[in-house]
């Protein structure tokens, strides 16, 4: 079954460009980019600030429009869809985790998580709340259901965001610097949680990061520079099956690298 999913194409970019005009100047952020991501893959887009990786993520997720080229997500031609149609696609199978969490400040943790469940239109209010509660339990926030975002720490807020992202059972999850606003320890916990849930739910994960160690945990690493992918590491065969062991191994590696890295040169 997992092989079937793996072979199915989830995302396809063909010759995608993004040009923005600021004042009289034209700025090319992405140039003629082509890319394919299969169902169940985990992919990291890495690169320096300003390399265009966040813009790429926005276009892949249908949050932004490309200037030219084709974007196919789950068989849907996003480049031919208007904002509302793209929203409907997002509601059905796309989850997001942002660097700045982007929780709704007026809603409690529980309500934040149950919102996309209800928006998917498949569950009643009561059922949505029940599921949201289960999700918050999974991310370890069972005791924080009624808290508002401003009453939660950064790590807790990101957990809520992760619970929200998975709660609508997305086929693909986009994460934009998910640990960017967190300290290293909390960031590590968040990453573990993200990968654990991802494996459990067979979700395709596409994340943007400049954190090499985070990128290392993905099957594919796409390195960007000046609006183009300059280097790609292909997935290792059987990576998905060995995931758990591999992860543990990686974690150890990271612990050691962290200590070495932390030592001043």
Q: Which residue ranges make up the site for another protein (CB under 8 A)?
A: 58, 63-65, 83-84, 87-92, 94, 96, 98, 102-107, 111, 115-116, 118-120, 125, 150, 164, 168
Least separation, in Å, of the C-beta of 105 and another protein?
Answer: 7
Phi, psi (deg, nearest 5) at residue 99 = -60, -40
β-partners of residue 188 are: none
Least separation, in Å, of the C-beta of 220 and another protein?
Answer: 23
> For residues 108 and 188, which CB has a smaller minimum distance to another protein in the complex?
108
Q: How many CB atoms lie within 10 A of CB 206?
A: 25
Phi, psi (deg, nearest 5) at residue 179 = -105, 5
Which residues are CB-neighbours of 255 under 8 A, at least 6 positions away? none
> For residues 105 and 238, which CB has a smaller minimum distance to another protein in the complex?
105
Q: 210 and 133 in contact (C-beta within 8 Å)?
A: no
Least separation, in Å, of the C-beta of 46 and another protein?
Answer: 19
Tokens representing 71 are 């974007």
> For residues 208 and 218, which CB has a smaller minimum distance to another protein in the complex?
208
Least separation, in Å, of the C-beta of 183 and another protein?
Answer: 11
Which residue from 60, 93, 19, 89 is spatially nearest to 176, judged by alpha carbons?
60
> For residues 25 and 84, which CB has a smaller minimum distance to another protein in the complex?
84
Least separation, in Å, of the C-beta of 171 and another protein?
Answer: 13
Least separation, in Å, of the C-beta of 152 and another protein?
Answer: 10
Least separation, in Å, of the C-beta of 128 and another protein?
Answer: 9
> For residues 186 and 216, which CB has a smaller minimum distance to another protein in the complex?
186
CA distances from 237 to 123, 189, 219, 234, 243 (A): 38, 27, 9, 9, 11
Which residues are CB-neighbours of 230 under 8 A, at least 6 positions away? 223, 224
How deeply is 173 buried, as exposed, middle or buried, from its count of CB atoms within 10 A (0-12, 13-18, 19+)? buried
Query: What single DSSP character describes residue 66?
Result: -
Longest dimension (CA), the chain: 57
Which residue from 205, 253, 229, 240 is spatially nearest to 61, judged by alpha carbons?
205
> For residues 40 and 62, which CB has a smaller minimum distance to another protein in the complex?
62
**CA-CA distance, 52 to 30, in Å (whole number)?**
6
Least separation, in Å, of the C-beta of 148 and another protein?
Answer: 8
> For residues 98 and 239, which CB has a smaller minimum distance to another protein in the complex?
98
> For residues 174 and 195, which CB has a smaller minimum distance to another protein in the complex?
174
């Amino acid at each position: 079954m997992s092989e079937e999913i793996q072979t199915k194409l989830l995302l396809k970019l063909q010759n995608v460009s993004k040009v923005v005009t600021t004042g009289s100047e034209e700025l090319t952020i992405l140039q003629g980019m082509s890319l394919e991501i299969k169902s169940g893959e985990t992919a990291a887009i890495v690169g320096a600030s300003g390399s265009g990786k966040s813009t790429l993520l926005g276009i892949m997720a249908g949050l932004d429009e490309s200037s030219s080229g084709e974007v196919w997500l789950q068989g849907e031609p996003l480049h031919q869809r208007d904002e509302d149609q793209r929203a409907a696609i997002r509601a059905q199978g796309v989850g997001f985790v942002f660097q700045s969490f982007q929780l709704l400040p007026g809603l409690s943790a529980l309500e934040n998580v149950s919102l996309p469940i209800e928006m998917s239109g498949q569950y009643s209010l009561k059922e949505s709340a029940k599921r949201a509660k289960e999700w918050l339990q999974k991310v370890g926030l069972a005791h924080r259901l009624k808290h508002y975002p401003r009453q939660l720490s950064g790590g807790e807020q990101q957990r809520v965001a992760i619970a929200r992202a998975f709660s609508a059972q997305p086929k693909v999850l986009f994460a934009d610097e998910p640990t960017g606003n967190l300290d290293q320890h909390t960031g590590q916990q968040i990453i573990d949680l993200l990968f654990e849930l991802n494996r459990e739910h067979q979700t395709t994960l596409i994340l943007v990061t400049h954190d090499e160690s985070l990128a290392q945990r993905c099957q594919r690493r796409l390195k960007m520079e000046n609006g183009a992918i300059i280097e790609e590491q292909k997935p290792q065969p059987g990576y998905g099956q060995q995931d758990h062991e591999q992860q543990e191994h990686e974690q150890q590696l990271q612990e050691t690298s962290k200590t070495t890295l932390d030592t001043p040169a």
